Structure formats: C-alpha cells, structure tokens
C-alpha cells in the first residue's frame, strides 16, 4: 500500500513539473498608438502601428499574438525586431470558415530554438484599407511560453487601434514623394552621423515637436524641382563626405526638402520624445516628420538623434515618402525576408536608389556615410546630376571621386548660384 501511494505521489509531481502553467503575472505590452490616420495609397490608405512586448530575463521559446482585424482591412505584412523564428500570419480555421464573419482572427507566432527573447520584441503591423468608415483592430491576446513549455504568460486585457480612413483626413497639400530613379552608388543606404546640411554634427538628437492640437496629419511633399540646394555643410566650409550621418542630420536634410507652405504650422514647440527639447536645432524637423509618419522613435520614448543611422533605417525612412515597390526579389545575400526592413530595402533597390556592394551584400546594419546618404536622397528626388555641371564646388574636402557629382548637385542652387 505504501508503495502504491509513493508511486502515485511521484506521478503527480512529475505531471506538475511537465504541465504548462498560466502564471498570475500577466504579459505587459504597449501599443504605439490608439488611432492610426492612414496615409494615401494607390487605392485607399495605408498605415501601421507597433506592439512592444517586454520579454524580461526568461528562456522563452515562443511569443504568440492574436488580433481581430476587420474583413475589410488587409493585413499587408507583419515585421519583428528581432526577427528570429517569425512565422507568417495565419487566419484561425474557425474564423476563416465563417462566411458571415466581420473580422478575421489572425494568429502569428515567433519561435526561438536558442531562447533569444531576453529583452523585448517589437512587432510592426502594416495594414491597408479602401473604405470610408473607421475600423477597429483588437489585440485580443499575447502569450509568452518559456522553454520546454513549462510556463505560459498571457495578457489580461484587450487593446484596440482605430483606423481613420485616408478619405476622411483633410490633409494639406498633394501626394507623397515619388520614387527616385538613378542607380545607387557603392554604399548608399541607411546612414549614420554626419550628413552635411545645416546640421550641428555630433549633437544628440531628441524628439521632434508635436503638431498643433486638432490639426490633421500632414502629407509630406518633397521638392522635385531639381533647382534648390539642400546640403549646406558646416561653417568651416567642409561636408565630411566619408563620415557617418546621424538620425538628426537625416531628419534635417529631409525637412529642408519639404515644400509644404504650411509645414511650420504643424510645430507646436513641445517635444514628443523625452530626449528632444524645443531648444534642439532639429526639433522642428523631427516634429514634422514624425507627424507625417516619415520617422519614428524607439519604444522607450526616445529618438536618439545623435545615433548613427543604419543603411536599413535610411531605406525605411526614404521609402515612407512613397509606395512600396515589391515587384522583384533582392539580390543581397545578407538581407533575408525576415529582416524588419526587407520591403523597404527591396523598394529602394527596385527604384534604383541603391546597388549594394561588389560582394553581393547590402550591409543593412552598417552606418551610412554622408556622401552615401546624399546619393540616395538625390536618386529619390530625381536630381539630375548633369544639370549641375559647371557649378562651383562649395566644400574644400570633396575630391573628384564617385560622390563629387552628388555633393555638387545637393549643394548647388541653380536659381542663385552662378557658373564661373
């Protein structure tokens, strides 16, 4: 009898050890916004939001998301940082078989065989919508499962994101920037500190100013006239083409190309990021571009303007001025479809803004140089380099190499400068 009892106790203990358990501590997650104003697309509008899930210091084996998305809303793509083990989103069978459903029950998951989820995961959900009525996406559940499925953590609240159709947004100005043409030169991609222009190199970039209360989201219009200078260099008469460029400097360059006559009206003087005050020289640039949906900050509420911008980040920022161009496949051996910026890099490649390196790589995580960033921007705005032949070079540190023409075109004003 004692032996039977002992065996029973052992079985019970073993079962407790191997059965997954839902712990009391719920999954704590954050959504970037409660309302997304869709921007103009070929047919309707497009937009995105992020879900940030802290992963603490546990050996997680999977992270699972469940979202209710209205049937009229298209789930374009889902990207993750980090992107290890991501699986394509799937509609739950029960939802897919209901002909009268008003939403699709989406389930997507990330698996880790090496337990890499030890900090946080940022999930970006990209959607498109052609209707005129507001729609609501519900984040029904997020689940974390530890290694060996010993413990399961679930969220205990439903959060929602409202989609505001593009048709109902009275945005000022016209369309977004059009795709650039020329082919990229070696290393033109995302960038790091240093981009020339009217920037103060080395200053830590913070967050931009928020828009005036009650104003609608602006549509960023780029100067495509091929006439005006947007690269000013520094007071010493140099531009440091081979140095890295920062996030703040890229924001400042792009802000200088915005042609919206009323763009200043979208700047209230209050910062939207904890590390960018109104006294920052680049606060207005960041503020406008954030409101226009061109640049984003980090999940901790900072912009980190002083950080070098990577080639992938630069591609992502520039492609937000237009539509994604996904007609072909990337030839780069170091950019997998799971990369968070894959579609952005593919768009930049298809638009001939970039070419990559001779060894067949793109270097998405490398910092971009000033000259490389300028070359990429020139191609995006279709700046015709031969139009600037004969104009004087304004910088003393630009040799006659591959980027000479790009620097010249970006820094020359064809309405004011005189050909000697």
pLDDT in tens, 31-47: 888 888 888 766 668 88
Question: Which of 329-338, 367-376, 410-419 is least confident?
Answer: 410-419
The pLDDT assigned to 243 comes to 95
Q: What is the pLDDT, as a whole number, of residue 93? A: 65
Q: Is the pLDDT of residue 241 over 60?
A: yes
Higher pLDDT, 300 or 73: 73
Tens of pLDDT, residue by residue over 138-154, are 998 888 887 665 677 88
Query: For the residues 147-174, what does the mean pLDDT come to?
Result: 66
pTM beyond 0.75, yes or no: no
- Minimum mean pLDDT range among 27-36, 188-197, 265-274: 188-197
Query: Which one has a higher pLDDT value, 48 or 132?
Result: 48
Strand, coil or helix: what is 148? helix
Q: Assess contact for 369 and 357: CB atoms under 8 A.
A: no
For residue range 298-349, list pLDDT tens digits in order.
778 888 899 999 999 999 999 998 888 988 889 999 999 889 899 999 999 9
User: Does pLDDT of 163 surpass 60?
Assistant: yes
Structural domains in the chain plus CATH codes: 22-168 (2.60.40.680), 172-420 (no CATH)
| Residue 81 CB neighbour total at 10 angstroms | 16
Confidence of residue 84 (pLDDT cuts 50, 70, 90): low
194/367 Cα distance (integer angstroms): 10
Q: What distance in Å separates the CA atoms of residue 327 and residue 352, rounded to the nearest whole number? A: 13
Q: What dihedral angle (degrees, nearest 10) is formed by the CA atoms of 251, 241, 365, 277?
A: -30
Q: Do the strands 90-91 and 35-37 form a parallel or antiparallel pair, or are they unpaired?
A: unpaired
Tell whether the model's pLDDT for residue 56 goes beyond 80. Answer: no
The chain-wide mean pLDDT, for the chain, equals 75
Q: Whose structure tokens read 């640039």?
A: 285
Of 134, 143, 149, 131, which is closest to residue 61 (Cα–Cα)?
149
Residue 266 has pLDDT above 60, yes or no: no
Is 176 within 8 Å of 322 (Cβ atoms)?
A: yes
The pLDDT assigned to 224 comes to 86
The pLDDT confidence band at residue 20, using thresholds 50, 70 and 90, is: very low
Q: What is the predicted pLDDT for the residue at 200?
A: 29
Sign of dihedral through CA atoms 123, 314, 327, 135? positive
- The residue among 202 and 5 whose pLDDT is bigger is 5
| Pairwise CA distance, residues 392 & 271, whole Å | 39
Residue range 98-138, pLDDT digits in tens: 777 788 888 888 877 665 566 778 888 988 888 878 899 99
Residue pair 218/266 in contact (Cβ under 8 Å)? The answer is yes
Asked if the model's pLDDT at residue 203 lies above 50, the reply is: no
pLDDT band of 178, cuts 50, 70, 90: very low
Residue 164 is predicted with a pLDDT of: 86
- Look at 299 and 257; give whichever has higher pLDDT: 257
């Amino acid at each position: 009898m004692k032996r039977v009892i002992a065996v029973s106790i052992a079985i019970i203990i073993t079962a407790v050890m191997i059965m997954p358990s839902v712990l009391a501590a719920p999954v704590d997650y954050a959504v970037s916004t409660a309302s997304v104003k869709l921007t103009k697309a070929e047919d309707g509008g497009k937009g995105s939001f992020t879900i940030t899930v802290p992963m603490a210091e546990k050996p997680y084996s999977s992270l699972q998301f469940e979202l209710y998305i209205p049937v009229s809303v298209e789930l374009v793509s889902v990207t993750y940082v980090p992107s290890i083990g991501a699986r394509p989103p799937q509609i739950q069978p029960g939802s897919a078989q209901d002909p009268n459903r008003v939403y699709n029950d989406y389930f997507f998951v990330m698996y880790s065989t090496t337990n890499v989820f030890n900090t946080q995961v940022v999930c970006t959900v990209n959607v498109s919508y052609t209707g005129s009525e507001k729609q609501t996406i519900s984040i029904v559940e997020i689940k974390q499962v530890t290694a060996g499925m010993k413990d399961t953590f679930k969220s205990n609240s439903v959060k929602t994101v409202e989609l505001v159709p593009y048709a109902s947004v009275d945005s000022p100005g016209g369309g977004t920037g059009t795709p650039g043409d020329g082919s990229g030169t070696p290393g033109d991609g995302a960038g790091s500190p240093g981009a020339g222009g009217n920037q103060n190199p080395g200053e830590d970039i913070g967050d931009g100013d928020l828009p005036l209360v009650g104003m609608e989201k602006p549509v960023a219009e780029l100067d495509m006239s091929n006439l005006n200078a947007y690269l000013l260099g520094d007071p010493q008469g140099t531009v440091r083409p081979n140095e890295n460029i920062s996030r703040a400097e890229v924001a400042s360059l792009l802000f200088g190309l915005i042609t919206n006559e009323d763009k200043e009206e979208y700047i209230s003087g209050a910062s939207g990021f904890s590390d960018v005050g109104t006294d920052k020289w680049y606060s207005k640039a960041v503020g406008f571009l954030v409101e226009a949906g061109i640049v984003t900050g980090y999940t901790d509420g900072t912009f980190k303007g002083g950080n070098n911008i990577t080639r992938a980040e630069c591609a992502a920022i520039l492609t937000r001025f237009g539509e994604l161009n996904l007609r072909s496949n990337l030839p780069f051996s170091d950019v997998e479809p799971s990369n968070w910026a894959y579609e952005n890099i593919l768009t930049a490649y298809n638009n001939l803004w970039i070419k990559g390196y001779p060894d067949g790589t793109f270097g998405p995580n490398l910092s971009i140089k000033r000259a490389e960033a300028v070359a990429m921007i020139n191609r995006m705005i279709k700046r015709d380099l031969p139009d600037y032949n004969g104009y004087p070079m304004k910088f003393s540190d630009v040799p006659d190499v591959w980027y000479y023409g790009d620097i010249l075109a970006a820094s020359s004003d064809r309405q004011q400068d005189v050909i000697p």
